[in-house]
Amino acid sequence: MLSFLESIRPTGLTDLDGALRNWALRGTRPGLAILISDLLSPTGFENGLNELLGRGYEVVVVQVLSPDEVNPPLTGDLSLIDVETRRPQDVTVDGPMRDLYMNRLAAWRDEVAAFCVGRGVHYLMVETSIPWEELILYDLRRLQVVR
């Protein structure tokens, strides 16, 4: 599975919501669906997760963010480039702006967790610095997704 994922080259904009809905509609026998994503999709993900749940899937959301996204080391005047749209955004990062970012990120992660928990979806937030084996052997077992 990991070899397959490493071979994929992303193109275009991410439509996570549409991809989840498509998967839910194509599936003939619901089972365990594990979504591993940063959830930073312009189309959202909520409707797609609801489609999976409505079709009887047991859903696990593993939200993955890099340590730099969780605790950005950036300061000063910057031109950030969105990796999916390739659009630049000029920003000035100072103490208050960094605090605002950290607060908004925490609020967004709380919203995602509340959305998932409120629908019986297993939710886990991890950073990319966590080894894959630890995620599977510890975190997913703790959620009782893997035994």
CATH number at 60 reads: 3.40.50.410
Over residues 44-91, the pLDDT tens digits come to 999 999 999 999 999 999 999 999 889 888 788 888 887 777 789 898
Structural domain range at position 7: 2-70+109-142
Does the predicted TM-score (pTM) go above 0.85? no
Cα separation of 48 and 63, whole Å? 15
Residue 18 pLDDT: 93
The SS3 of residue 94 is coil
Query: How many CB atoms lie under 10 A from the CB of residue 35?
Result: 20
Would 85 be classed as within a structural domain? no
Would 82 be classed as within a structural domain? no
Cβ contact 65:106 at 8 Å:
no
Would 17 be classed as within a structural domain? yes
Total domain count, the chain: 1
Sign of CA dihedral 125, 106, 99, 82: positive
Would 134 be classed as within a structural domain? yes
Would 76 be classed as within a structural domain? no
Cα separation of 41 and 134, whole Å? 26
Would 115 be classed as within a structural domain? yes
The DSSP symbol for 124 reads E
